[in-house]
Amino acid sequence: MDYRQLGKTDLKISAIGLGTMTFGDQNTEAEAHEQLDYALAQGINYIDTAEMYPVPPKAETFTRTESIVGSWLKHQARERIILGTKVSGPRRGLHWIRGGPASLDKANIRAAIEGSLQRLQTDYIDVYQLHWPERNVPMFGQYQFDPAQEFASGVYGQGQEQAWVSIRNQLETLGELIKEGKVRYIGLSNEQPWGVMEFVRIAQEYNLPRIASLQNGYNLINRGMEFGMAEVLYREKIGLLAYSPLAFGHLSGKYIDNPATKGRVTLFQGYAQRYNKPNVSPASAAYAELARQHHLTPSQLALAFVYQRWFVTSTLIGATSMTQLKENIAAWNVKLSSEIMHEIENLHLRMMNPAP
C-alpha cells in the first residue's frame, strides 16, 4: 500500500480508503467490523463516513453508520486511523437531519460535529468535510448550472433570492472547531471549481483554515474531474478523495448479462440519477469487454484505472461482501499497460462522460 500526503497537511493517507455508506443498511454491525478489520490489516488507514449514512439516506437509518464505525473505533489505536466524516448541507430534502438542515451556519455545523464525535466515540475528526455546497450548484447527476434555482420562485429574475451562509462564515466556524481540537483538517465534497477556488481565496485573505481535500465522484464513466478541476487540485495542492470508482456497481459488470442482479442498482432503483442516463449501460458493457480481452475482471480494470490516476490521492472503495472487498483491494496490484490506457481513451472519446 502506498501512503500519500493529503494536501498540505502532515497526514499520510493510504492510497485506498474504506467507504462505509453500506454499514447499517446492507451490512450489519458484525459484517462492518469484519470489513474494517480486514481493511486495516491490508494497510488501509483512511476510513470515510458521514452523519447522513447509510445511503440511500432514510430517517430510520441516518447516523447508524457513524455509530457502527464508532463501536469499532473505540477498540483501535486511535492514532493509527485517519477518520473522515461529513456534515450534511441543505437543499436535499433531508428533513429528518436537524430539521432540514436549513443551512451550514454555526448552529448546524456545531450540532453536527458534536453528534458525530459522540457516535464515533472519539475526541476529534481528522478530516471534517462539508458533504455538499449550501449554494445552488449542479450535483449528484445534475450537470448544468441553472441560475433559476437562485430564486425561491424557480423563475429567473422573479421571487426572493435564496440566501446561503457565506463561505467566510463557514470557514470561521470550522476554524473554531480546529482551535478547540475537535477537528484537525477540513475538506469539501461534491464541489465545483468555483467553490474550491473561493474556499482557497477566502482562507488566504482572512487567515482562515485551508481546505486539505476534495471528495468527488470519479470513475471510467464519470471523468468530469479532468475538465478543469484536476488543474485546480494540482496548483492548489489539494488532495482528491475519489469516490464511486465502480459507478454504483455498474463498472463491476454484474448488471450487463443480468440487469436484475441483486445490488445497489436493483435495491435502490431511481436513487442514483447520475447512473440512470442512456449511455451508462453501453459504456459499462464496452469497458467490461475491454477488461475481458485483457484477462481482467471489469472491476479490476475500473479500479486500476482510478488507482493509477496522478491526481487521485486516495480512492474510496465500498463493498457489501468480503469477497468484493478483497477483490477491490487486490486490484491495487493490477497495473494497466499503455496499450490498455490507449484503448480506454478511445472508448472515452466515443462515449464521453455518460454519467456526469
Q: Is residue 185 flagged as an active site residue?
A: no
Q: How many CA atoms within 13 Å lie on the side-chain side of 142?
A: 12
Q: Which three cell numbers stand for residue 334?
A: 493490477
Choose the catalytic residue: 53, 128, 185, 255. Answer: 53
DSSP three-state, residue 188:
strand
**Residue located via cell numbers 475528526:** 125
Is beta strand 16-19 parallel, antiparallel or unpaired with respect to 314-317?
Answer: parallel
Which residue pairs from 263-267 have beta carbons closer than 8 angstroms and sit at least 24 positions apart in sequence?
263/320, 264/26, 267/26
- Are the C-beta atoms of 245 and 219 separated by less than 8 Å? yes
Q: Which amino acid is at 133?
A: P
3-state secondary structure (DSSP) of residue 18: strand
Longest dimension (CA), the chain: 58
Give me the active site residues, please. 53
